[in-house]
Amino acid sequence: MATILRPPGPKGVPLLGNLPDFGRDTLGFLTQCAREYGDIVSLRLGGWPTLLISHPEFAEYVLVKHHRNFVKNTFFW
C-alpha cells in the first residue's frame, strides 16, 4: 500500500486531532499553524484529514483553477 505524504502540521490528540485547539481559539490556532508550518498545513479535525491553505495563489489553484481535483467536504457548512 502506498504511503500518503502530508504537509507538516500540529500533532493533535488521539481521536480528536486538532479539534480542541481549533475550538478554543479558531483564528489564533490557524494563524499560529500558518506561521509555524507554512502555507500548507496538515490538520486533523476529529476524524477528517484537513489542509489549511494560507497562500492566495495556492487557494486560487485549489478553489478556482483545479476545483474538480480536490474533495471539499460539505459536513461543516
- Which residues lie below 8 Å from residue 22, measured CB to CB, with a gap of 6+? 29, 30, 43, 45
Model-wide pTM > 0.85: no
Mean local confidence (pLDDT), 25-43:
97
- On average, the pLDDT of the chain sits at 90
Residue 45 phi/psi, 5-degree rounding, is: -105, 95
Q: Where are the domains of the chain?
A: 19-69
**pLDDT at site 77:** 53
Cβ count near 39 (within 10 Å): 14
- pLDDT at 26 exceeding the cut of 90: yes
Mean local confidence (pLDDT), 30-47:
95
Which has the higher per-residue pLDDT, 42 or 66? 42
Put residue 37 in one of left, alpha, beta given phi > 0 → left and psi -120 to 50 → alpha.
Answer: alpha
